[in-house]
Amino acid sequence: MTVKDIIEKLELKCLNEANLFTEVTGAYASDLLSDVMGNARAGQIWVTMQTHKNVSAIASLKDLPAIILVHGAVPDIDMLEHAREEEVCVLVSKEATFQVCGKLYALIG
Amino acid sequence: MIFKADMHIHSVLSPCGDIEMSPSAIVAKAKERGMDIIGLTDHNSTLNADVTRRLGEQVGLHVLMGAEVTTKEEVHCLCFMPTVEKLAEFQAFLDSRVIFFENDVDRFGYQLVVDEDENVLDQVPHLLINALDLPMMELSQKVYEMGGIFIPAHVDRPTFSMSSQLGFVPTGLKFHALELSYYAKRNNYKFLDDCPWFSDFNFIQSSDAHFIEDIAKIHSVLEMPSFSFDNFKDALRQGEPVIL
């Protein structure tokens, strides 16, 4: 399953197109950056409500191809700028973490 | 006596601190901008604090030695220690709670321990902006036990603040004041309209400078009979907000 497949299946809004054809190996849901730094694995999609610049920095550092912001969250401008520079895909779901994760689990869990 | 204080300044030890932020440059700029007191508060480390204090002493600038600690909840808190001995003990305490994650210099920046003459003495290997394995409540207790000063940082900000991470002031949490960022409007605390539960506390406001030109772009004013660590602590506790 690629990032593009997930965008279509979950009806996500894409704010920064990148890694669309990267294979997604799983997902990690957390709002604590230290937790993601310690426990997320390369290739996973990151589900979070955090919207600041450090989020794209961590995604790039951990080789996470895409971030799904939940509940219609709006990323900070510098988060998006950083995501463009670092080629991280930024996606937004209208739904909350529970629903997003449930759908992801059904697809790739 | 009236003292002008900028209590939140990062040096080259913080990965996000500009390379020009050496202790000597910080002291010179703070002095030039008319500060009487500054706080040296690098992320999760105090290792450039004592050298900054000694440089300050040479020009009559009081430097409070501390760190901006990232708690387990990812709340930033300013912590200051009264003596060099306590500072070393506090540093050992912080080190014991590090969640090791190697600093990627290209992504985050250098973390340099330096001397008076800007010689690099050491580079800290673990990423200092990561959270420590240390709850905010325990950090506050530890700082109080050690006779230090504890100030939750930039409580008006949408990231890494008590308001963003918790959304409230935990019952039983002890602190000497709360810090407002440069962005909180002076004399017009819109933030307090949004978060009225913060209104009962004393505030300082500081620059959170990472670049030399930002030092003292905002400051707090405190009144005390003469400067000492304990007088500073008492001044923070005065009934009225100390910010002018």
pLDDT the model gives residue B242: 45
pLDDT digits (tens, 9 = 90+) for B70-83: 999 999 999 999 99
For residue B28, is pLDDT > 50?
Answer: yes
- Phi, psi (5° rounding) for residue B221? -120, 125
- Phi, psi (5° rounding) for residue B132? -90, 160
Choose the mutation target among B159, B161, B164 for the interface with A, i.e. most A CBs under 10 Å.
Answer: B159
pLDDT the model gives residue B39: 98
The Cα B223–Cα B238 span in angstroms is 9
Q: For the residues A62-85, what does the mean pLDDT come to?
A: 95
Nearest CB to A37 within list B72, B73, B101:
B101
Choose the mutation target among A34, A36, A53, A56 for the interface with B, i.e. most B CBs under 10 Å.
Answer: A34
Displacement of CA B46 from its chain's centroid (Å) = 10
pLDDT digits (tens, 9 = 90+) for B142-191: 999 999 999 999 998 889 999 888 878 888 899 999 999 998 865 556 67
For residue B243, is pLDDT > 70?
Answer: no
Q: Which residue of B has its CA nearest to A58?
A: B107
Domains and CATH numbers, chain A: 3-108 (3.40.1390.20)
pLDDT digits (tens, 9 = 90+) for B206-239: 999 999 999 999 999 888 999 999 999 999 876 4
- Measured between CB atoms, does B135 come within 8 Å of chain A? no
* Tokens read off for B223: 């009144």
Mean of per-residue pLDDT scores for chain B: 92
pLDDT the model gives residue B188: 56
The Cα B180–Cα B206 span in angstroms is 7
Nearest CB to B74 within list A34, A57, A61:
A34
For residue B18, is pLDDT > 80?
Answer: yes
Q: For the residues B197-204, what does the mean pLDDT come to?
A: 79
Q: How far is CA B136 from CA A48, B139, B143, B150, in A?
A: 22, 5, 11, 10
Inter-chain residue contact A33 with B74, CB threshold 8 Å? yes
Torsion of CA B24, B215, B74, B238, to 10 degrees: 110
Using an 8 Å Cβ cutoff, are B149 and B232 in contact?
yes
What is the layout of strands, in order, in the sheet containing B76-81?
A: B149-152, B76-81, B62-70, B37-43, B2-9, B220-223
Question: Which of A15-19, B1-5, B82-86 is predicted least confidently?
Answer: B1-5
pLDDT the model gives residue B164: 87
Place of tokens 């999609």: A45
The Cα B202–Cα A32 span in angstroms is 28
pLDDT the model gives residue B102: 94
Q: How confident is the model at residue A72 (pLDDT cuts 50, 70, 90)?
A: very high
pLDDT the model gives residue B186: 56
The Cα A83–Cα A17 span in angstroms is 9
pTM of the model: 0.89
Amino acid at B96: S
Q: List, in sequence order, every residue forming a beta bridge with B120; answer none if it has no partner.
A: B114
In chain B, the percentage of residues whose pLDDT exceeds 70 is 95
For residue B22, is pLDDT > 60?
Answer: yes
The Cα A81–Cα A105 span in angstroms is 30
